[in-house]
Structure 1
């Protein structure tokens, strides 16, 4: 019925998606002007509330700094050049303060005695556009200081560099993905026409996604990072879904005329696409349970884009196939599918042993998770070639001695009070193992105190997080807020951990309900959840080795900062569960067809995997290409998602679907289909 409707209205369907593509190409670019930096923490977290109070009590403007290297700090020419730059910058409207070694109080000599710093603070409260214009003027003037090396950075400059790099990575990633996909699809289908259909759907999905995200940007913030991640997911699924329908159509052409083959393909493969698309959409919607701004943006954008990719595959692919007549030839040879069939046959010969070894192997890959360091990315997420990143590295190593950022404690009580001094004494005494230095901030309004605590250890070390928790645990008769970068990480971790059960419940319900709808079994969905958890754990373990340990620095062209972005495991949790449903549904739909024809589990599993193996393998190769295409970008956080999804797809299609699935189904035999009666 659905296929007949699409065929009857094929020109309307093609015209609609052509209009979407043109509109996206014309108007979608406006999205890039509306992208913004999205915070990771909820506005009601203690660190966010405390920072807002501090900003109100002691307003500070955007900071721009320069590190000047390669010359004697007291070289007359250098002194004159820095002095001239400082004088010109002070004269710029909107500048609050300039500190350097010669004309101000904040300049410093680096640890190598061959570098100096210049600190510039803008007036607080500047709107974004004039602030960015002033930052650019300051940066341009600082870069003209006469010295062998001048690197300019700052938090806001790093944010803007992140946005620019994100857009650049998106363009590069899409270009690589489309070029490689065309080659892969041509090799799989053996013809240009069949290969072009999934790419046409992908183009429509990508341009349509820009329109969807543009609309969302008027209701909520859309960040540069979420744009990359959401687009990556949309491209991958559009290819997956359209590939499945085209491949099934070519298979049915061996037995039917084109019209009937299309009807069967849409009924069989289209149902699998609809179930998988619904599963991924609902799973992404589960991200809203976390309520963090960045995750909420990814959840809304991702759910909308996946729904669009599903709709385009279910309508545009059949419409385009019907327009080609019989020019898409039947499948003549089985390509790329022998591996899955051979793995399944091997698993069925000794299912218990294979299941045990596969599980142990995945757990070994997951073992590095025990030493995971999850934290918020900063300027270190930028490529080392970026000036803001280079300035950050030099400032940390030569001027801050790699000291971690301070933990700020805001007290609603003045420093003259005895109980405030008592708190300071307790911090100095009870927390001496974690506190390197304690300072009382000057120029704070009466009735308030701000303590700046410098933690021991290095940037991102555990001492900073322990200090946040221990200071928060100290009782006080007045209100107290603990904030700063370490506090933000603690709040983010606690929020994610507290809301993880709700998000996991959403994923569990979606998986169980939809797979029960497909198979009529309760056992199969529960088994799928366990296998997906193993895939997720093994993938995260590999990412710890590649990014936190730094084993992938050379081949992936990045510098490890000793951890994973805290958002990466959460996104991978949802993406892996969602995308694993693709292959679960693709394989189980064929296995169930075979089991309905003849209720023999081993036979149904082997025949189902043999018949669906080529398209599953091709889909995995194609979506892996998409993810790896984004891994070549400069942002480490996006690399983590790209590499993580590529690893997950590889493990899922080989170890999990090729070995673990047939082994477990062979062990359970008829119990796989409980409570359904054979």
Structure 2
């Protein structure tokens, strides 16, 4: 078994080493939506794709209207237009000196362009173009910006953070394991399983890329959860092995018992985590589905490593472990700090449980002020060049050309109707200018002559928004534009519309995803415990824990508290897909810890039939492992607190808080309090359901009443 495991490790290591290059980038788009259909028609039929690249051109002397600057700007425009894969290039100097392309102080102007291809292709082209067009020459200071450049740099930063987290995380985790197991050899085993899970997942993701797109950000989740879950599962196997050694078993028998009891718990735990992450497949977005693939393979390889490879290693190394401190038996393994905590909580379950619930509700109260927004350049650090460009545009330009809504008008629409529609759009509050085949419109009136070359392929409209409305209510602007009476078959696209449709599809699918995760997770816990109340209680406590996490996200990242120490810029809103991802991950991990604790409590209850004693003993047996596992996972997630990408910073800090709160306030206080109040009802189920569960032979040991009947 160990030889096979070593061979597999080598293979997945080789395959996983090329995974990063096979992963792709994605845009915030909802497949099949109106905006995506409009964007496709604009790019392929009307030759007017979204302007996803820009050059910010600043005159070294004077204004952008100086003759020398004008000549240099026109030459720069022609140079960019000649680049492969770059089209629809125009600029302030070639578009009739449009005010939307000039800064308010007339010192800077824009060259805008469309870089063709999917997200990966476009950003690869920008990787070549960006350094070549970042220059100071011919009296011009040129810097590269635009949506694709921003997210190209986000991808680069995420890859750097992946490597940095790997270097930072492994030594810290190893030290924690040495401390937990009081020995280097015992610490190496869980770490090896974690590395096996991480490399196996990367190799599997590389295989998945042959069938569908997988986001590069899935690698960041793979690193944290692969290492964290692999170690978590191993902790329970090794701990049970140590427990059996302490009872006098030889290493072979101890390894068998560890796999038999703790292995079953690990299997159910892995299933609940996998179910939570597989719920992301219900979203029609490759970006979120990528995390479902990563989560499934993380669990698969983590369980394989912990249930198959680790017991083999324990049996092989058993004599050495048996001679060491790993096998040292404590004076009374069922008496200790956690046993005392449980007894004190169960003496006053209403007071202590109620106080914890109130505390969590208070901590989660900022969630009531949650405001969904869309991501921009401020997800990057201040030092990022694309952010500096966008900051200059945000502060110095009245409008943002590359964030224009681009509207496809059906073929055959009479020019007079198109002109009427353009004038009506120009009267929408927050619209700076509307460009149409018949000219440019401001406040409902034509303000500039037609640009025949720009609209030569067919009728479409560009609705350029004010900077103020983009900051305050971009989704409201999309709704207002779509609310203007339009010719039948008109489609609204462009970056703000893409994000609005993405958010709508995300929110529409969210209830289905939450319901699936709750129902299937509760079903799995029922099948393991035979109880109806325990899974329902677990779901309620997990949701309570998650409300605290989301409250922290709003307070820190939306409202901007701690933005200075943590090094990010608050925008007053949260991009919704990351919190949804965090819900799936955190809910799975919470159920993970619930199963670890309840399985030991149930084992003790089946043995003694004493509810209070089984809760105290089960907590004493499981809490040290849960706190160690939580500390390791929290350290793993917290390594992304140093990330230069706000998405990863949110994921790291939010998940670290969720894991620590769940392992302490929830497991150590609320679980004993709720189980004390429920008493024997903890293990109740209707007779038909219990017979169904027993028929599947999923109960580890018979309930006390049945055991007594068997003895009689």
Instruction: Answer yes or no: same fold by TM over 0.5.
Output: yes
Question: Equivalent of 1:59, from 17, 28, 47?
Answer: 47
Look up the match of 1:643.
653
**1:439–1:93 CA distance, 2 compared to 1 (3 A):** closer
Number of corresponding residues: 661
Range moving further from structure 2, 269-278 or 478-487: 478-487
Range moving further from structure 2, 122-131 or 191-200: 122-131
**1:217–1:325 CA distance, 2 compared to 1 (3 A):** same
Look up the match of 1:461.
472
**1:440–1:342 CA distance, 2 compared to 1 (3 A):** farther
Q: Distance in 2 between matches of 1:138 and 1:434?
A: 31
Question: Equivalent of 1:259, from 241, 249, 252?
Answer: 252
Query: How far did residue 338 of structure 1 move?
Result: 6.6
**1:460–1:621 CA distance, 2 compared to 1 (3 A):** same
**1:563–1:230 CA distance, 2 compared to 1 (3 A):** farther
**1:135–1:418 CA distance, 2 compared to 1 (3 A):** same
Q: Deviations over 1:174-224 (max 9, x none)?
A: 221111101111111111011111111111112111210110011111111
Equivalent residue of 1:66, what SS? strand
Q: Distance in 2 between matches of 1:130 and 1:574?
A: 31
Q: Distance in 1 between matches of 2:123 and 2:401?
A: 29
CA contact (8 A) 1:403 1:458 kept: no
Tell me if 1:358 matches 2:356. Answer: yes
**1:415–1:450 CA distance, 2 compared to 1 (3 A):** farther
Question: Equivalent of 1:551, from 548, 552, 561?
Answer: 561
Look up the match of 1:7.
none
Q: Distance in 2 between matches of 1:66 and 1:428?
A: 26
Look up the match of 1:167.
159
Look up the match of 1:412.
410
Query: How far did residue 267 of structure 1 move?
Result: 1.4
Matches within 5 A, 1:442-461: 443-444=454-455, 448-452=459-463, 454=465, 457-461=468-472
**1:19–1:561 CA distance, 2 compared to 1 (3 A):** farther
Matches within 5 A, 1:219-368: 219-255=211-247, 256-328=249-321, 329-332=326-329, 340-341=338-339, 343-368=341-366
**1:83–1:490 CA distance, 2 compared to 1 (3 A):** closer
Q: Distance in 2 between matches of 1:494 and 1:100?
A: 34
Q: Distance in 2 between matches of 1:138 and 1:189?
A: 51
Query: How far did residue 543 of structure 1 move?
Result: 0.7
Range moving further from structure 2, 487-496 or 93-102: 93-102
Q: Deviations over 1:457-503 (max 9, x none)?
A: 443533x2123234445565611222233322332232223222322
CA contact (8 A) 1:65 1:117 kept: no
Equivalent residue of 1:375, what SS? coil
Unpaired runs of at least 5, structure 1: 1-12
Unpaired runs of at least 5, structure 2: 438-450, 691-702, 706-712
Q: Deviations over 1:281-334 (max 9, x none)?
A: 122222211222212222123212221111111112111111212222215569
Query: How far did residue 159 of structure 1 move?
Result: 3.1
Query: How far did residue 532 of structure 1 move?
Result: 1.1
Q: Distance in 2 between matches of 1:639 and 1:490?
A: 24
Look up the match of 1:8.
none
Query: How far did residue 628 of structure 1 move?
Result: 0.8
**1:416–1:456 CA distance, 2 compared to 1 (3 A):** farther
Query: How far did residue 521 of structure 1 move?
Result: 0.4
CA contact (8 A) 1:403 1:459 kept: no
Q: Distance in 1 between matches of 2:211 and 2:5?
A: 24
Equivalent residue of 1:325, what SS? helix
Question: Equivalent of 2:148, from 156, 162, 183?
Answer: 156
Q: Distance in 2 between matches of 1:483 and 1:92?
A: 26
Q: Distance in 1 between matches of 2:649 and 2:294?
A: 20
Look up the match of 1:25.
13
Range moving further from structure 2, 139-148 or 99-108: 99-108
Equivalent residue of 1:450, what SS? strand
Q: Distance in 1 between matches of 2:115 and 2:357?
A: 58
Tell me if 1:188 matches 2:176. Answer: no
Q: Distance in 2 between matches of 1:450 and 1:426?
A: 12
**1:95–1:433 CA distance, 2 compared to 1 (3 A):** closer
Q: Distance in 2 between matches of 1:448 and 1:97?
A: 15
Tell me if 1:528 matches 2:523. Answer: no
Q: Distance in 1 between matches of 2:69 and 2:28?
A: 41
Look up the match of 1:573.
583
Query: How far did residue 609 of structure 1 move?
Result: 0.6
Q: Deviations over 1:366-399 (max 9, x none)?
A: 2222222223423322222222222222222223
CA contact (8 A) 2:237 2:258 kept: yes
TM-score (norm 1): 0.88
Equivalent residue of 1:654, what SS? helix
**1:60–1:14 CA distance, 2 compared to 1 (3 A):** farther
CA contact (8 A) 1:287 1:299 kept: yes
Range moving further from structure 2, 504-513 or 417-426: 417-426
Equivalent residue of 2:246, what SS? coil
Look up the match of 1:668.
678
Q: Distance in 2 between matches of 1:322 and 1:660?
A: 37
How big is the alpha-carbon RMSD for the aligned residues of Structure 1 and Structure 2? 3.3
Equivalent residue of 1:374, what SS? coil
Range moving further from structure 2, 145-154 or 228-237: 145-154
